[in-house]
A and B are shown apart, each in its own frame.
Chain A
Amino acid sequence: MSSAVLLESPSSTPALSCREVRVSFRGHEVVCGVDLELGQGEWLGIIGPNGAGKSTLLRSIVGLTDFLGTVALGDGRTPGAADIALVPQIPVLPKGMTVAEYVLLGRTAHLGWLARESQADRQIVSSVLHRLDLTAFADRFVSTLSGGEAQQVVVARALAQQCPVLLLDEPTSALDVGHQVSVLELVDDLRRTEGLSVLAAMHDLSAAGRFADRLILIDHGRIVAHGPPAAVLQSDLLSTVYATPLTVQSIDGDLVVLPAPRRRTNPKKEIS
């Protein structure tokens, strides 16, 4: 028996569906039968504490780790690099590689015989850079970019892959709050204008509530809650799963998750 829940996505044909996905490392099961469906144009957020299996689930979807169960696109095919683009948590930024060359890596799955990039590949790269306002960065070295700039360039590379599904693995955990919002807003814009479907593991619960259409809460490799943000972001549920008192506030209609104020029992203070 698994605790998996079959999720109904808003549209009829899902962009991506997972059935009974299980991943074990050395006999220890870290993803224990996850079912999910990502609707067309939907932003599905995956939340859960560190070690809950969020990244492992994403890695199995892009085929980076062995798993049991099925991962399929809407038409039943197994996804490849031309179907799902991954934005990694901490991208590797090779020394001496220009932004344009880095974005060109996104075309790997599309290169033809002799692995030669065509004029079309270069045009796609330059239009992606244009789209993300990165044209001025084209001949900068990726290793010299700031964290926020680098993550934009990684999004550009994912976009150059021309995949209908975008997977984000906690893409903003290394960024300050301003760059975090701007990268997520960029992805949200792209989702609307390019019709992308987004599956994102997110560490910031407030951002998850703001950007995702639906949320999946994972704990110990199982889905423990799912649904619209308001249904999943419940203070008692989150406090249990994250093993720390959390409070959910509504500010101007957006849900904000904060650590609950803790009553300090400091003996020194009481004495003074």
Chain B
Amino acid sequence: MAEASLPTAALSEDEAAYTAVRRAFGMSATASVLGVVVLVAVGLLSAISGAAGLPASGVVSALVDWIPLLGVESTLSAYQESILFQIRLPRLVLGMLVGGSLSMAGAAYQGVFRNPLADPYLLGVSAGAGFGAVLALGFGLDLGWGPFDTVPAAAFLGALVAVVASMAIARGGGSSPATLLLGGVAMAALFAAAQTYAIQQLDETRAREVLSWLFGQLNTTGWKEVWILLPYVAVCGMVLFVHRRHLDVLRVGDDEARSLGLDPVRSRLLVIVAASLVTAAAVSVSGLIAFVGLVVPHIVRLLVSHSYRVIVPLSAVLGAAFLAFVDIPARTLFAPEELSVGVITAIVGAPIFAIVLWRDRWSTT
């Protein structure tokens, strides 16, 4: 059988051309390194900001001390260490996990729906989670079980119900991106109405509590939320990472994707399930934080590449950094009062998004 053999030695003849080709594959490695540097810098900044000032050197020494066998002694006092490890770090890590989850889920949704306006709440996750949380917060519905508190559990279940219902509706319509989108719109409207109705039945104090949950917060004590969220981030993040290249293939349409050797329906389903699951988990511990999942993938597109090979992992890293960063003013600006972090992401996110839209038009057409 005649194999289509190609002259792989050709590039040694043409080193200069190969550099051009390499450039065209995107600056993924450089960008990843820079992304991690930004993430670490934001983490350090966040750790030293707050009412009880912790010295940067002390924070670094305490963290290095935590790694065994290095023989570095923490220079923080026991009180400072407990602030760092029991208050600052849990919140910082939770913010990073939530920001990373929402951003990579947003990138994944934009990929499967071939729609730049897609965000992780597209399939009714937000409305479903909101409805669940309203039931739990407002009506004292008790779903707490084992390590899971009532509100996160109710929000998680509500989100899953909404997504599954959206997908079930779309399945009758052939599971194309368009029918999925419409199924999501229908479910989101339904759950939003249910949620509004439920809030109207509440008294003022409880309604206020529900609304502050809906706007999103990273108010956490200890590491519990981190441990709840971590398995979802690990598993779903892995699935999305493995499928990042498939999202590029899906961009040429289902027929061409299939002729290139990809099962578009299966890939789309796996990506949607993973993205929805990690979004539901993030929402259940942090409420509805707007704009992160929409804006961060667009920032990556603008700065680095339009290829999902780069967008998915880099969105996770930059989303983590972004949310951790905006959480600093959220908890320090009106301390000891909290400002909902969702308010800040929307205030910061909307202008960034506008700039991205303008720049995008100039750069790729």
Task: List A residues at the B interface (Cβ < 8 Å).
Answer: 13, 15, 40-41, 59, 62-64, 74-75, 80-82, 84-86, 88, 91-92, 94-101, 104-106, 108-109, 111, 114-117, 120, 122-131, 135-136, 138-139, 141, 143-144, 159, 161-164, 194-197
Contact = CB atoms under 8 A, between A and B. Distances in A.
A131 B5 contact: no
Interface stretch (B44-52, B238-246, B278-286): B238-246
Given A100-B24, A108-B249, 8 more contacts: A15-B1, A62-B259, A98-B24, A108-B262, A115-B242, A123-B8, A129-B17, A138-B21
A127 B21 CA distance: 10
B244 A115 contact: yes
Contacts of A129: 17, 21
B23 interface: yes
B10 A131 contact: yes
Given A131-B10, A162-B6, A96 B24 contact: no
7 contacts: A15-B1, A92-B252, A101-B307, A108-B261, A122-B21, A138-B20, A139-B24
Interface string B232-273: 000000000111111011011101101111100000000000
Contacts of B255: 59, 64, 88
B26 interface: yes
A104, A162, A164, A195: most-surrounded residue (chain B CB, <10 A): A104
Contacts of A197: 2
Contact of A126 (B1, B2, B11, B251): B11
A144 B245 CA distance: 22
B25 interface: yes
Contacts of B4: 159, 162-164, 194-196
B205 interface: no
Interface string B295-314: 00000010000110100000
Nearest to B238: A114
A99 B256 contact: no
Given A64-B255, A105-B249, A115-B244, A159 B6 contact: yes
Contact of A105 (B7, B26, B243, B248): B248
B114 to A, nearest CB: 8
B364 to A, nearest CB: 5
Nearest to A75: B1
B24 A138 contact: yes
A128 to B, nearest CB: 7
B18 A126 contact: yes
Nearest to B250: A94
B307 A127 contact: no
A159 B3 CA distance: 12
B18 A86 contact: no
B365 A143 contact: yes
B23 A139 contact: yes
B337 interface: no
B204 interface: no
B261 A109 contact: yes
B21 A105 contact: no
Nearest to A94: B251
Interface of B: 1-8, 10-11, 14, 17-18, 20-26, 241-246, 248-249, 251-253, 255-256, 258-262, 301, 306-307, 309, 364-365
Contacts of A86: 256, 259
A197 B252 CA distance: 25
Contacts of B301: 96
A62 B254 CA distance: 13
Given A62-B259, A106-B260, A97 B249 contact: no
B1 A164 contact: yes
B253 A92 contact: yes
A41 B10 CA distance: 23
Nearest to B245: A115
Nearest to A143: B364
B258 A63 contact: yes
A143 to B, nearest CB: 7
A131 to B, nearest CB: 7
Contacts of A144: 364-365
Contact of B260 (A98, A125, A161): A161
Nearest first, the 9 A-B pairs at minimum CB distance are A81-B261, A96-B306, A109-B261, A100-B24, A139-B24, A195-B2, A135-B17, A94-B251, A138-B24
Contact of B17 (A85, A96, A115, A126): A126
A40 B8 contact: no
A101 B242 contact: no
Contact of B25 (A101, A109, A163): A101
A91 B258 contact: no
A16 B21 CA distance: 34
Contacts of A196: 2, 4
B305 to A, nearest CB: 8
Contact of A100 (B5, B7, B21, B256): B21
Contacts of B10: 126-127, 130-131
A101 B24 contact: yes
B260 A101 contact: no
A208 B11 CA distance: 35
A144 B365 CA distance: 7
Given A41-B2, A92-B251, A126-B21, A135 B364 contact: no
Nearest to B244: A115
B353 to A, nearest CB: 17
B246 to A, nearest CB: 7
A84, A85, A99, A127: most-surrounded residue (chain B CB, <10 A): A127
B104 to A, nearest CB: 15
Nearest to B241: A114
Nearest to A160: B6
A161 B18 CA distance: 19
Contacts of A138: 17, 20-21, 23-24
